[in-house]
Amino acid sequence: MSYPPQQNGPVSPYGHGQHPQHHPQGQPMTGQPHPQHRQPVQGQVYTRQEAYFPPQGPVYVQQPPPAPRNGLGIAALILGLLGMLTGLIPLLFWLAGPLGLVGLILGLVGIGRVRRREASNQVMTVIGTVAGALAVALATWGAVVFFTAASEAVEGLDKALRSGESAQSGKTLQLGEAASFNNGLKLTVTEIESFTPENEFEKAAEGHRLVKVTVVAENTAEDTQSVLLSSVNMRAGESNAQARSSYAGGFKELTGDLAPGAKATGTYLFEVAESDLGKLQVQVGMFIGDSVFWEGSLKE
Q: How many CB atoms lie within 10 A of CB 134?
A: 19
**Predicted local confidence at residue 181, as pLDDT:** 82
**Predicted local confidence at residue 167, as pLDDT:** 52
Strand 208-219 relative to strand 256-258, pairing = unpaired
C-beta contacts of 175-182 below 8 A and 24+ residues apart: 175/294, 175/295, 175/296, 177/294, 178/218, 179/284, 179/292, 180/220, 181/286, 181/289
Please check whether residue 214 is in contact with residue 190, taking contact to mean a CB–CB distance below 8 angstroms: yes
Mutual angle of helices 122-163 and 93-115, in 10-degree steps: 160
**Predicted local confidence at residue 198, as pLDDT:** 82
**Predicted local confidence at residue 233, as pLDDT:** 92
SS3 call for 207: coil
**Predicted local confidence at residue 36, as pLDDT:** 52
- What distances in angstroms separate CA 282 from CA 13, 213, 295, one per listed residue? 143, 8, 6
Using alpha carbons, select from 85, 80, 75 the residue that is nearest to residue 99.
80
pTM (global) more than 0.85: no
Please check whether residue 131 is in contact with residue 99, taking contact to mean a CB–CB distance below 8 angstroms: no
Alpha-carbon distance of 170 to 199, in angstroms, equals: 38
**Predicted local confidence at residue 206, as pLDDT:** 87
- For residue 243, the 8-state DSSP code is P
Alpha-carbon distance of 209 to 202, in angstroms, equals: 11
Please check whether residue 191 is in contact with residue 175, taking contact to mean a CB–CB distance below 8 angstroms: yes
**Predicted local confidence at residue 155, as pLDDT:** 80
Please check whether residue 100 is in contact with residue 136, taking contact to mean a CB–CB distance below 8 angstroms: yes
Specify which residues 185 forms β-bridges with: 219
Phi, psi torsion values for 244, nearest 5 degrees: -80, 135
Alpha-carbon distance of 142 to 100, in angstroms, equals: 13
All structural domains of the chain: 71-162 (no CATH), 172-296 (2.60.40.1240)
Using alpha carbons, select from 247, 245, 244, 240 the residue that is nearest to residue 276.
240
242: CB partners within 8 A, 6+ apart: 233, 234, 235
9: CB partners within 8 A, 6+ apart: none
Question: What are the 10-residue block averages of pLDDT along the chain, 300 residues in total?
Answer: 51 49 50 52 54 63 79 94 94 94 95 92 94 96 94 75 55 87 86 87 87 92 85 88 86 89 93 88 80 84
